[in-house]
Structure 1
């Protein structure tokens, strides 16, 4: 079911403001480990299954939990002045809403940056540099965790033919978890690229609106971010985003047969 079909459901549409307002934030913007947030995540898994997106009933491994914690930053807006929209973004992160529901406008970060109160144009350049630098610093840890998860998934898939006590449901659940993990990595790779594009758009428009020498430092930070973002490229085939339904192309099931 597409985002329009989802939002056409009157009961769900009416409930979204209530759900969004109840999402409880933890430290560093991550979801707090509360019963309510667990319920939101569980509802997101059910919604993903309803859309035929991969959602395995298997429990998460420790690395899979860490992968999802590290993905949080890149699945939320880099800077959003509107609490309600940020909460809706969290529901998208939890997969209660489909990923394509949130528009990827290059100007979104710049608009949010300009909407914030700032004492001087310099502070906006520095804010941009700080956000982009934080993204770049955290990408290697995400890439390392993703590599461990994908190696474990490869072991999981290779073991399936040799375990005779598995039934069809077990095999399908294993395949769904592999697809789920790969699609999460593909989603973060896509969002990291879009965030970099948003930072670039903001820097170029700041340079025209309020030129300042701080732009030189911001340019260096964006080069640092671009280099770090490339760590995600070898993790999956180039068409993984399309295979996961994050871009026009094949459906989600095709990700199950991508190379390990």
Structure 2
């Protein structure tokens, strides 16, 4: 969730990102991006930047389900905590793939530090903020999982049809394969990030419990269990090694990587 800056960003990608850094992350309803011209421009730039880095990037237009998948991924690819304007813009550029995923380093303590920073009336308010974030995440996962399942089924139909369509050229076949890889790696990325969010929430709960024990901790523990139960909906969508194959986490000995990020 929380990240610190990693400076090894390809120069041409950074040049592409700089004019867009001023574009703040604009969120709409239900954890989706606001339908603004800025967000559309950032998404288009992200496809170009990903292609430059050798990541899957297809020129095909998105289907309705593919667009919905990206909209529903928004909440989980952005930090759960508020950030400054510049940091929020960088997170949005990473979410859109203008910047590579690899520059962000996980920091499970950042959410706790954010919700405990500044003045507050009572520790109870912090527990309630934590519970609200947990429940909000949990409620949005089923809709994402349902959309992802439809996209996976459609991609299977797409791949199975390729050998039987004689009018396709190599570019068409490659574009289809790249779109399937894009979709799968996006689902894998959300699956990875929901796990990271759960870890950050648990860190916050444990440290709140030690720093300021309150009965509200029980509700937060139940909300965390609720989130983790919903996260299981994402497990069967892709093979267990999808995050490794997409280059989202380092491979172990003898494990293959399908796409290398950054």
What's the CA shift for 1:11? 8.9
Q: Which residue of 2 aligns with 1:21?
A: 22
What's the CA shift for 1:40? 1.3
Residue 86 to residue 167, structure 1, CA distance change in 2 (3 Å): same
**Aligned-partner Cα distance in 1 for 2:88–2:169:** 41
Alignment of 1:1-260 (within 5 A): 4-6=7-9, 9=11, 12=14, 16=18, 19-23=20-24, 25-28=26-29, 30-249=32-251, 250-253=256-259
In the alignment, structure 2 segments of 5+ residues that lack a partner are 1-5
**Aligned-partner Cα distance in 2 for 1:184–1:36:** 21
**Aligned-partner Cα distance in 2 for 1:200–1:228:** 15
- 3-state DSSP of counterpart to 1:80: coil
**Aligned-partner Cα distance in 2 for 1:124–1:184:** 31
Asked if 1 retains the 8 angstrom alpha-carbon contact of 2:73 and 2:190, the reply is yes
- 3-state DSSP of counterpart to 2:35: coil
Corresponding pairs, count: 250
Q: Which range moved further: 229-238 or 25-34? A: 25-34
**Aligned-partner Cα distance in 2 for 1:37–1:14:** 15
Asked if 2 retains the 8 angstrom alpha-carbon contact of 1:129 and 1:218, the reply is yes
What's the CA shift for 1:119? 1.9
Asked if 2 retains the 8 angstrom alpha-carbon contact of 1:80 and 1:109, the reply is no
**Aligned-partner Cα distance in 1 for 2:118–2:33:** 24
- 3-state DSSP of counterpart to 2:21: helix
Residue 15 to residue 156, structure 1, CA distance change in 2 (3 Å): closer
Which of structure 1's runs of 4+ aligned residues deviate more than 4 A? Answer: none
**Aligned-partner Cα distance in 2 for 1:174–1:80:** 37
Asked if 2 retains the 8 angstrom alpha-carbon contact of 1:81 and 1:116, the reply is no
Q: Which residue of 2 aligns with 1:257?
A: none
What's the CA shift for 1:22? 2.1
**Aligned-partner Cα distance in 1 for 2:73–2:16:** 28
What's the CA shift for 1:208? 0.8
Q: Which range moved further: 18-27 or 76-85? A: 18-27
In the alignment, structure 1 segments of 5+ residues that lack a partner are 255-260
How large is the RMSD of aligned CA atoms in angstroms?
Answer: 2.0
The alignment's TM-score, normalised by the length of structure 2, stands at 0.90
- 3-state DSSP of counterpart to 1:230: helix
- 3-state DSSP of counterpart to 1:100: helix
- 3-state DSSP of counterpart to 1:22: coil
Q: Which range moved further: 42-51 or 110-119? A: 110-119
The alignment's TM-score, normalised by the length of structure 1, stands at 0.90
**Aligned-partner Cα distance in 1 for 2:121–2:128:** 12
Q: Which has the higher helix share?
A: 1
**Aligned-partner Cα distance in 1 for 2:245–2:172:** 23
What's the CA shift for 1:103? 1.4
Q: Which range moved further: 189-198 or 104-113? A: 104-113
